Amino acid sequence: MLARLGRAAALAGLLVLPDPAWAVDAPTSEEGQALDVRRLAPEQRRRLLAGDTIAYPVLETSETELGAGVAMYLAVPLSRAAEVLTSSDVILKDPSITASGLIPAGATVAALHGFKLAAGEIGEAQDALDAAAGARFNMAPPEITVFRAAKGTVRSTDRAAVLDAAAGQWHALLLERAQAFQTRGLARRSGTTDPAALLRVAAGDARIIASLAPRLGEALLRYPAEQSPTAISHIYWVKRQVQGRPTPLLIQHLVDVTPALALYVERQFYVGNTYNASQILCAAVPYEDGVLILSSNRVSTDQVAGLGGEMKRLIGRRQLRSEIVKRFDRIRAALVRPLGPPDRVESP
């Protein structure tokens, strides 16, 4: 059985998320059970209060999508959960992220200078300067032209110059993409991929908390227009290791806290290579004596389409759920820290 799973994993070629893992505190049923935050099924309630995580389905709409949902219960107040969930550490402290930075409104290319390519990434730099239409890089034709033009400004034997040239072009591309998103949201289409297509579908995942945030789905579709007055949005550039490749990302981190809900939405609206786009919608709502924390995750990748697609998606969903549980473990660790020793009081 393990050998067959190993062959299946090799067939999938997936690994759209780093460090794949099979162990997950979730039911073995691939479909899971629908989650209603207003009224949980008795078995869901029992498992959650016992400390388990439970899986629920996230509807996929194409052969290139993967969707998975996981929920857990923690006996902490909503205000405490909100402190952790709205921190950028939730997304930026992932072990696969090697560098990151904020891109504020009106930023210049200087905001991207922390994105660098290391000496061991010379092959990736050379490939970027040789970029062509296809699946290796998610670049529009004008962006490909600019990268290839930059190649002519450096000697191929000057490794440091090649690294700097490629990094410099990534700086410009990421800034332009970030500014386009800040101005027009999902209106822009990418060249070889259309991340906006997945993110439009993913906005529908807000239906799971529609009773608490009825306009969230519409706000995600219409960003930057008509946003909640309590919502805060930041754009980050991220360098992440995916399948052994340095992958430049642009992430919107949107948070909103009300007396009934603590919410964050992570939208990876530009991914430089390997996969196309991703959204994580995570919410904490009051439940029993604590909070119910749920996460609906969705990713778009061409690697699960075509021959063997069903097996690839099966493996991919399991891996996606496993990654949610890893993030939940980090959230749990931040929320349920043991108290330190009491302060020592000196005797008079």
What is the pLDDT, as a whole number, of residue 32?
A: 63
Q: Are 315 and 8 in contact (CB under 8 A)?
A: yes
Report the candidate in 247, 318, 260, 267 with the shortest Cα–Cα distance to residue 287: 260
pLDDT over 70 percentage in the chain: 86
Mean pLDDT to the nearest integer, 95-116: 96
Mean pLDDT to the nearest integer, 106-135: 96
Mean pLDDT to the nearest integer, 70-89: 95
Check pLDDT > 50 for residue 72: yes
- pTM to 2 decimal places: 0.86
Tokens 């996460």 — which residue? 295
What is the pLDDT, as a whole number, of residue 185?
A: 95
Task: Classify the phi-psi angles of 169: left when phi > 0, otherwise alpha if psi is within -120 to 50, otherwise beta.
Answer: alpha
What is the pLDDT, as a whole number, of residue 193?
A: 66
Check pLDDT > 70 for residue 152: yes
Check pLDDT > 60 for residue 324: yes
What is the pLDDT, as a whole number, of residue 10?
A: 37
Tokens 């993967």 — which residue? 66
What is the pLDDT, as a whole number, of residue 163?
A: 98
What lies within 8 Å, CB to CB, of 28 at 6+ separation is none
What is the pLDDT, as a whole number, of residue 192?
A: 57
**293 vs 37: CA distance, rounded Å:** 10
How crowded is residue 288: how many other Cβ atoms within 10 Å of its Cβ? 12
Largest Cα separation within the chain, whole Å, is 78
Report the candidate in 294, 284, 278 with the shortest Cα–Cα distance to residue 201: 278
Mean pLDDT to the nearest integer, 243-257: 97
**126 vs 155: CA distance, rounded Å:** 11
- DSSP output for 224-252: TSS--TT-EEEEEEEEEEETTEEEEEEEE
Per-residue pLDDT tens over the stretch 26-35: 334 445 678 9
Report the candidate in 211, 332, 215, 198 with the shortest Cα–Cα distance to residue 267: 198
**160 vs 162: CA distance, rounded Å:** 5
Report the candidate in 65, 66, 67 with the shortest Cα–Cα distance to residue 56: 67
What is the pLDDT, as a whole number, of residue 28?
A: 41
Average pLDDT, the chain: 87
Mean pLDDT to the nearest integer, 40-66: 94
Q: What tokens appear for 286 in the block?
A: 């009051």
Mean pLDDT to the nearest integer, 104-108: 96
pLDDT-wise least confident of 30-44, 101-115, 154-168, 217-231: 30-44
Check pLDDT > 80 for residue 5: no
Check pLDDT > 50 for residue 87: yes
Q: Looking at this protein, which amino acid is placed at residue 164?
A: D
Most confident of 31-45, 175-189, 210-224: 210-224
Per-residue pLDDT tens over the stretch 188-245: 655 556 889 999 999 999 999 999 999 999 999 999 999 999 999 999 999 999 999 9
Q: What tokens appear for 121 in the block?
A: 């990434």
**249 vs 269: CA distance, rounded Å:** 8
**26 vs 319: CA distance, rounded Å:** 12
Mean pLDDT to the nearest integer, 134-149: 94
Check pLDDT > 90 for residue 348: no
Strand partners, 299: 66, 278
Mean pLDDT to the nearest integer, 21-44: 65
What is the pLDDT, as a whole number, of residue 258?
A: 95
What is the pLDDT, as a whole number, of residue 33?
A: 79
What is the pLDDT, as a whole number, of residue 38?
A: 86
pLDDT over 90 percentage in the chain: 79
